[in-house]
Amino acid sequence: ETGVTQSPTHLIKTRGQQVTLRCSSQSGHNTVSWYQQALGQGPQFIFQYYREEENGRGNFPPRFSGLQFPNYSSELNVNALELDDSALYLCASRAGLDATEAFFGQGTRLTVV
Amino acid sequence: DAKTTQPPSMDCAEGRAANLPCNHSTISGNEYVYWYRQIHSQGPQYIIHGLKNNETNEMASLIITEDRKSSTLILPHATLRDTAVYYCIVRLPSGSARQLTFGSGTQLTVLP
């Protein structure tokens, strides 16, 4: 149990729809990253938030966007869903940009049909 | 961040040591070696990290070769619960947007 919670755990959406995934970071952790993990692959970095500002982004299109709130919880929004967006979405929190260890949540399994 | 190469799968008998290799021949002088594992249907879990000296914690030992081009993660007494995908990651230790770059990892299966 890492203290990082994600909701929902599973979700089914239709192609073209929009989805919002949520992450509650571990207490005191001001840095949150989001990853996409396709079946059989390692997690791929989407973006990172530090103190409510986006602080780095991977190779994902603009329809992937996010927010971080004053309590450091975070949201991942995906617009115009495509079938290839079906994946496990993981949230990881750290105690700061210099923190060594990232704590991952259990993930949200998104299926796009 | 430097690229890593790991075998896709390994088996280990329960109670024996599991030795998971990783090649990182393009590692730069200030990059650390990190190990994470992912048990099925869970998020990745941090195991250990090191720069050039061998490291040990309650979960595992990390042996880094003198030239730092490869490393080995050692689980001294593997249990069935250690069955997971193990990821070796090379990255700078801190600062800005240093995300974790995961490869495909090694699927370790601990056999009874």
Read off φ and ψ for residue B63, nearest 5 degrees: -110, 120
3-class DSSP state for residue A24? Answer: strand
**Contact between residue B75 and residue B58 where contact means Cβ atoms under 8 Å apart:** no
Mutation site for B-interface testing, chosen from A10, A100, A106, A109 by largest number of B Cβ within 10 Å: A100
Q: Which of B41, B44, B49 sits opposite A43 (nearest CB)?
A: B44
Joined tokens for residue A97: 């940009």
Measure CB to CB from residue A41 to each of B43, B101, B104 and give the nearest one. B104
Give the strand pairing for A19-24 and A74-78. antiparallel
Q: What is the pLDDT along chain B (112 residues), one digit of tens a residue?
A: 668 999 999 999 999 999 999 999 999 888 899 999 999 989 999 999 999 989 999 999 999 999 999 999 999 999 999 999 999 999 876 655 567 888 889 999 999 9
Residues of B in contact with A66 (CB under 8 A): none
Which residue in B42, B44, B99 is closest to A56 by CB distance? Answer: B99
Q: Which of A26, A2, A6, A20 is nearest to A93 (CA)?
A: A26
Please give the residue of chain A at the shortest CA–CA distance from B99.
A45
